[in-house]
Amino acid sequence: MADEGTRKEDASNALIPSRRAMLMGTGAALFAGAGIPVPFLDKLPRGMRLLAEAQEGTGAMPEGKEGLTILGDRPINMETPPHLLDDDVTPAKHFFVRNNGLPPDVEGVTDETWKLTIDGEVERPLELSIADLKRDFEPVTLRLFVECAGNGRKFYRPAASGNQWTFGGVSCADWTGVRLKDVLERAGVKKSAVYTGHYGADTHLSGDPSKEAISRGVPIEKALDPHSMIAWSMNGEDIPYLNGYPLRLMMPGYPGSCSQKWLTRIWIRDQVHDGQKMQGQSYRLPAYPVAPGTTVPDEDMKIIEGLPIKSLITFPQTGTRKKLGGPITVRGHAWCGEADVAKVDVSLDFGETWTQAELAPAPNRFSWRRFTAAITPPQQGYYEIWARATDTNGKSQPATTPGWNPHGYNNNMQHRIAVFVI
């Protein structure tokens, strides 16, 4: 595959904001956002920035992360530029980060000291250490994607408030842990159980200890699905700190928000969970199509479950220049929460004609799947490559934003890249 096979990370690409631009914001809070306290931060004169933050190229990107785009620093949120998601398995440094609150202090935590409580509608409430989980249950490894339900929010008009994710609020890694189902069976789920409620060790931005940063849940049937996991490892290593070290839930195919990081408690509920960001308009869609900008009453909003069919072009990088002659190799991933991926098509003529891509098998359900295609531009000029995935229910990605909704969730519009053939 000659030059198509090499993954170039072109720092000069004008479509990626410069490090300097990312530092223009309120750099100071970032350290706190990344979990490192700055005790005298309130004494720093207005308009001045921390020295360590001000030095270009250092400090801004939290340790262990590289090349991500920072969307906000308190809480810290970072998306991954599509061309850095080209691997089948997203490396830790490129796995996106979505935080609602302030990550906890996990200094000195061990497999013995971190405790997970299972309580509520169970016969035998449990308190398990990570060592207990590793010793008493069958370990499993699954390749699972995580996608923020707000991925693509930036493209809705009128704009929805919240992090302005473009395309990079998604990643896919190998997760090792135990099936949540096995642990719930040990606890003995009562007939009265209808929903889970998840708790983590991070804290609310306000500092109010009575409020969670986020506490979401899923229907008990989803919790008992064999793909739902309690994980302690990502890609064979400890979970990265900002992705939930030392323990997190994986509720694959559902909004990323259901996959609680820094997991401390699973409360089995006899009603739909009413924790932080479960109610009102959070992670909900109107039960019927609404005109853009409509105010929808809370009782007409439905909780999002399986995420819609979607795909991303990860090679070539948008803006690439390519010499005329021979085909362009295109590749990326497709994934779906509510069904399976059936096919991916790519277009070089703004959607007039489509070529079916080759689709690699998935190691397991809820993994993204690699697609590859070769398309040949007929002459020099500006082209766009579009990708469109279709699921096993026959649903395809729309060319532009799907139904507008107040918080800008579930935007599964087609991804497009620009290519200059010279």
Ligand X SMILES: Nc1nc2c(c(=O)[nH]1)N[C@H]1C(S)=C(S)[C@@H](COP(=O)(O)O)O[C@H]1N2
Task: Work out whether 261 is an interface residue with ligand X (CB under 6 A).
Answer: yes
CA distances from 309 to 217, 221, 387 (A): 22, 21, 12
Q: Are 330 and 313 a contacting pair, CB within 8 Å?
A: yes
Task: Work out whether 312 is an interface residue with ligand X (CB under 6 A).
Answer: no
Q: Are 284 and 406 a contacting pair, CB within 8 Å?
A: no
Task: Work out whether 234 is an interface residue with Mo ion (CB under 5 A).
Answer: no
SS3 state at 120 = strand
Task: Work out whether 163 is an interface residue with ligand X (CB under 6 A).
Answer: no
101 binds, among ligand X, Mo ion, none (CB under 5 to 8 A by kind): ligand X
- Binding ligand X by CB under 6 A: which of 120, 168, 252, 256? 256
- Binding Mo ion by CB under 5 A: which of 65, 83, 94, 98? 98
CB of 149 to Mo ion, least distance (A): 6
Token code pair at residue 293: 């900008």
**Identity of the residue, 53 or 212, whose beta carbon is nearer to Mo ion in the bound complex:** 212
State the residue for tokens 């004609």. 353
Determine the interface stretch with ligand X among 26-34, 80-88, 95-103, 369-377 (rule: CB under 6 A): 95-103
Task: Work out whether 79 is an interface residue with ligand X (CB under 6 A).
Answer: no
Q: Are 112 and 143 a contacting pair, CB within 8 Å?
A: no
Phi–psi pair at 186, nearest 5 degrees: -60, -40
**Identity of the residue, 312 or 344, whose beta carbon is nearer to ligand X in the bound complex:** 312
Determine the interface stretch with ligand X among 92-100, 125-133, 315-323, 367-375 (rule: CB under 6 A): 92-100
For residue 265, give the nearest of 366, 119, 383 by alpha carbon: 119
Task: Work out whether 247 is an interface residue with ligand X (CB under 6 A).
Answer: no
Whether the link from the prior residue into 158 is cis, omega within 30° of 0, is yes
**Identity of the residue, 233 or 257, whose beta carbon is nearer to ligand X in the bound complex:** 257
Provide the H-helix boundaries in 197-329: 220-223
The sign of the dihedral angle between the CA atoms of 102, 105, 110, 112 is: negative
Token code pair at residue 186: 């040990």
Contact letters for ligand X, residues 189-228 (x by CB under 6 A): -----------x-x----------xx--------------
**Identity of the residue, 97 or 373, whose beta carbon is nearer to ligand X in the bound complex:** 97
Cα 399 to Cα 347: distance, rounded to the nearest angstrom: 11
Determine the interface stretch with ligand X among 222-230, 260-268, 360-368, 378-386 (rule: CB under 6 A): 260-268
Site for ligand X in 225-244 (CB under 6 A): 243-244
- What number of other Cβ atoms are within 10 A of residue 8's Cβ? 12
* Residues binding ligand X (CB under 6 A): 95-101, 146, 148, 200, 202, 213-214, 243-244, 256-257, 259-262
